[in-house]
Amino acid sequence: MEAEIRQPDASGHEVMPEYRHHKTLVTVTLCFIVLAELLLYSGWMKYGMWVHVLVLIGLGMATMRLSESDVYRPLQALMLLPLLRLVNISMPVFYEMTLYSYIFIYAPLLIPVYLVAVHQKYTAAQLGLTRGNLKVIIPVSIIIALAIAEGEYYIIRPGYLIPDLSFWNMLKLSLVMILFIGLVEELIFRSIVQTRLEETYGLFYGLMITSLMFGIMHSGYGTVYEMMFTSLAGLVVGYLFQVTRNLPLIALTHGMVNVFLFGVIPHLGPGLGLL
């Protein structure tokens, strides 16, 4: 009987053939999600949505049949990406998009995020639910967010979501962007997806793949430059999460990017009107 052959992975550790097979399943799933986003980017909305639906159904069936945690955990985590896209696309069909529309899009996504986190027994540390020094977190978040928002503004030139920069309008914008978009997307991409892809591919490739997926999931803006830029922004935010494991830091950073991008910069202009 022939001995089972093991081959080293990128980090030099021996990898069982079964594990390489499971890694292939994750890679194939990622490729189908990318295909769906490229179809959406190309204007083939119906086909892109159908691919996302089929990926979601396929992952649901696969995770019910698989028992090995190393297999079903990354696949179950990836279910959140097509779900995010389908909810994001379908909700605006029923009404005109406003600032409050984002609450109805992102609040329901907390349910599957919670279910995945509970089912996979995520620890608070894995999710990034750790305490941090707010005197450091807040200024660091604002500085990084402003830099990212300035660069992204030159690419997509978005309009503003609030009529002026009054205190109440800024408060409403900040709450929606930080507590809903920033928190939910970072829970999905960094706390859950990046954590599982790091386990599958290693820290470096897990970070790179998650960042690339984050950029590709911005295909709705219709420009490859936006996908490239948000991949880079995702790399920055993902690296912050990797070295700090602090969800408040990256959720605040993500949220403040959108506050600057859809509120402050459209009203004041690039460079906050100082340039």
Going residue by residue through the chain, which has 275 residues, state the pLDDT in tens, using 9 for 90 and above: 333 334 444 444 444 445 566 789 999 999 999 999 999 999 999 999 999 999 999 999 988 887 777 778 999 999 999 999 999 887 654 456 788 889 989 999 999 999 999 999 999 999 999 888 888 899 999 999 999 999 999 999 998 899 999 999 999 999 999 999 999 999 999 999 999 999 999 999 999 999 999 999 999 888 999 999 999 999 999 999 999 999 999 999 999 999 999 999 999 998 887 76
Q: What is the pTM of this model?
A: 0.89
pLDDT at 2: 39
Strand partners, 15: 7
Report the distance separating Cα 80 and Cα 63, nearest Å.
13
What is the full DSSP assignment across the chain?
-PPPP-EE-TTS-EE-HHHHHHHHHHHHHHHHHHHHHHHHHTT-HHHHHHHHHHHHHHHHHHHHH---HHHHHHHHHHTHHHHHHHHHHHGGGGS---TTHHHHHHGGGHHHHHHHHHHTT--HHHHT-----HHHHHHHHHHHHHHHHHHHHHHH----SSSS--HHHHHHHHHHIIIIIIHHHHIIIIIIIIHHHHHHH-HHHHHHHHHHHHHHTTGGG--HHHHHHHHHHHHHHHHHHHHH--HHHHHHHHHHHHHIIIIIHHHH-GGGGT-
Pairing of β 7-8 and β 14-15? antiparallel
pLDDT of residue 63: 85
Point out which residues pair with 14 in neighbouring strands.
8
Quick one: pLDDT at residue 99?
86
The answer to whether the beta carbons of residues 189 and 233 sit under 8 Å apart is: no
Q: What integer pLDDT is reported at residue 4 of this predicted model?
A: 37
Q: What is the pLDDT of residue 133?
A: 84
Return the structure tokens found at 241.
Answer: 């999460």
Report how far residue 269's alpha carbon sits from residue 267's, in angstroms, rounded to the nearest whole number. Answer: 6
pLDDT of residue 5: 38
Q: What is the pLDDT of residue 22?
A: 78
Q: Can you give the pLDDT at residue 92?
A: 57
What size, in residues, is the chain? 275
